[in-house]
Amino acid sequence: MAVFSSLTPVFVAVLCVVVLYLFKNFSRSEGKGKTDAKSSVAARPWVDEDLQDNTEISPVEDDDALADGEDDVPHVPYVPVLYTPEVMLQRSRDFYTLLNARRSVRFFSPEPVPRDVIENIIRTAGTAPSGAHTEPWTFVVVEDPQTKHRIREIVEEEEEINYKQRMGEQWVNDLQRLRTNWVKEYLDVAPFLILVFKRTFGLRPSGKKKTHYYNEISVSISCGILLAALQNAGLVTVTTTPLNCGPQLRQLLRRPPNEKLLMLLPVGFPAPDATVPQLHRKPLEDIIVFV
């Protein structure tokens, strides 16, 4: 307190403003709003997808109609697909069997994959719901061998730095036990690399920034559907998150600055001698609670 008595009131005021400003941002960012999306959305905590569809789409995709005051998205009857209880049960069993056979595979065959299949799979991923129906995803499908190799170089370079400089002792020990290193051969071998970018914001016709609510959650949901579609088609992948490589890969692939790399998925057929770690999934009772 003695210290404070030596301050001019003006300075105390300046100090308070600075500290309060920084603290406000600090606490906000440490709080609920952990992603761009969430902090932007803090003023509209309950976001209900098709309600968003209406509120967001009109002003954004239909500026003229907005001017005309005709910007409601009309509702149309929903045409359901209904099955008997027996068929529902069988379908739910079969779908579980299909997806429970999915494993992350890192050993690929160079055998080519029909492009049409990849297109249908990405069409399918594009049916995911998204905050405000912004569909904030870009799927970059790399088949050019030179580009795949450059991606591998960028990734392995970062990975080597991580391995030698950034990793904690536990992590390095784990890797030693794994007898693995930073080599990612599958980035050359897999016929396709799918790099999934989240569009962190959009642009309105006016040129004004358009918030993409929950863009990371939306794109992740879309990736879940993508994984199901790959498995359904008999293809394999491994879900990877090349965090530090994002900016370099974005530039290599000439994506705009509002797009951030979320995942990189090598896609193809498994190598004949592919192996997977012998893992177990939690039993249902460990993940479900009935109330």
Residue numbers 136-175 binding a second copy by CB under 8 A:
137-144, 147, 155, 158-159, 162, 166-168, 170-171, 174-175
Grouping H, G, I as helix, E, B as strand and the rest as coil, residue 19 is: helix
**Least distance (Å) between residue 258 CB and a second copy:** 15
What residues numbered 189-218 form the site for a second copy, per CB under 8 A?
214, 216-217
**Least distance (Å) between residue 188 CB and a second copy:** 15
**Least distance (Å) between residue 113 CB and a second copy:** 8
Backbone angles phi, psi at 105, to 5 degrees: -115, 130
The CA–CA distances, whole Å, from 183 to 83, 152, 188, 196 equal 49, 9, 11, 21
- Toward a second copy, which CB reaches closer, 64 or 281? 281
- One-letter amino acid identity for 73? V
- Toward a second copy, which CB reaches closer, 63 or 103? 103
- One-letter amino acid identity for 90? Q
**Least distance (Å) between residue 94 CB and a second copy:** 8
**Least distance (Å) between residue 132 CB and a second copy:** 10
> Which residue's structure tokens are 């249902």?
284
Is 6 one of the binding residues for a second copy (CB under 8 A)?
A: yes
Closest CA to 28 of 14, 45, 13, 40: 40
**Least distance (Å) between residue 47 CB and a second copy:** 5
**Least distance (Å) between residue 135 CB and a second copy:** 5
**Least distance (Å) between residue 190 CB and a second copy:** 13
What residues numbered 28-57 form the site for a second copy, per CB under 8 A?
29-30, 32, 34-36, 38, 41-51, 53-57
- One-letter amino acid identity for 79? V
What residues numbered 232-251 form the site for a second copy, per CB under 8 A?
232-236, 238-246
CA dist., res. 154 & res. 245, Å (int): 7
Is 19 one of the binding residues for a second copy (CB under 8 A)?
A: yes
* Member of 63, 153, 201, 253 binding a second copy (CB under 8 A): 253
- One-letter amino acid identity for 283? P
* Member of 16, 17, 89, 183 binding a second copy (CB under 8 A): 89
* Member of 180, 183, 204, 256 binding a second copy (CB under 8 A): 180
CA dist., res. 115 & res. 141, Å (int): 10
User: What number of other Cβ atoms are within 10 A of residue 165's Cβ?
Assistant: 7
What residues numbered 105-124 form the site for a second copy, per CB under 8 A?
105-107, 114, 116-117, 119-124
CA dist., res. 34 & res. 31, Å (int): 7
Is 267 one of the binding residues for a second copy (CB under 8 A)?
A: no
Backbone angles phi, psi at 222, to 5 degrees: -60, -35
CB 210 within 8 A of CB 199: no
Is 73 one of the binding residues for a second copy (CB under 8 A)?
A: yes
Q: What's CA 76's distance to the chain center, in Å?
A: 31
User: What number of other Cβ atoms are within 10 A of residue 103's Cβ?
Assistant: 16
Is 135 one of the binding residues for a second copy (CB under 8 A)?
A: yes
Query: What number of chain residues touch a second copy (CB under 8 A)?
Result: 159
Is 261 one of the binding residues for a second copy (CB under 8 A)?
A: no
Structure tokens that stand for 108 in this block: 């690929």
